[in-house]
Amino acid sequence: MPKVTFLPAGRTVEFEAGSLPFPDHGQPGSVLAIALHFGIEMEHVCGGNCSCTTCHVVIKEGLENTSPMLEDEGDLIDGVPGVTSTSRLGCQAVVKGDIVVEIPPV
């Protein structure tokens, strides 16, 4: 069962992969979908449709446990202030194993 630790809140959630209900926002099993399911606040102005960057997160540990970045996400993330080599859009990064994710201040 994957565990996701959200920083700076320091909150860890655990879930069975594929067991979360399909969200209205973000890819099923994405960082955004998990955050919303567990009541963790995360900006997502476009509704999780990969058309803005408000759900930008930094994967601190376990980047290999997320889905590969697709071209659309890569094009958007390049323009995010404070982007790092492990930056992702929360709506697109599908969790496949344990990760630690930081939600930067907006």
CATH code of 78's domain:
3.10.20.30
- Domain extent, residue 33, equals 3-102
Q: What's the number of domains the chain is made of?
A: 1
* Cβ burial 4-21 (10 Å sphere, 16+ → b, else e): bbbeeeeeeeebeeeebe
Instruction: Please indicate whether residue 20 or residue 72 has the higher confidence score (pLDDT).
Output: 72
Residue 17 is predicted with a pLDDT of 77
- 82: CB partners within 8 A, 6+ apart: 56, 104
**Rounded to an integer, what is the distance from CA 82 to the centroid of its chain?**
16
- Position 26 scores a pLDDT of 86
Query: What does the mean pLDDT of the chain come to?
Result: 92
Picking from 11-20, 74-83, 96-105, which range would have the lowest pLDDT averaged per residue? 11-20
Q: How many C-beta neighbours within 10 Å does residue 87 have?
A: 21
Residue 40 has pLDDT above 80, yes or no: yes
pTM (two decimals): 0.93
Model pLDDT, residue 22 = 66
Weakest-pLDDT range from 14-18, 48-52, 91-95: 14-18
Coil, strand or helix at 75: helix
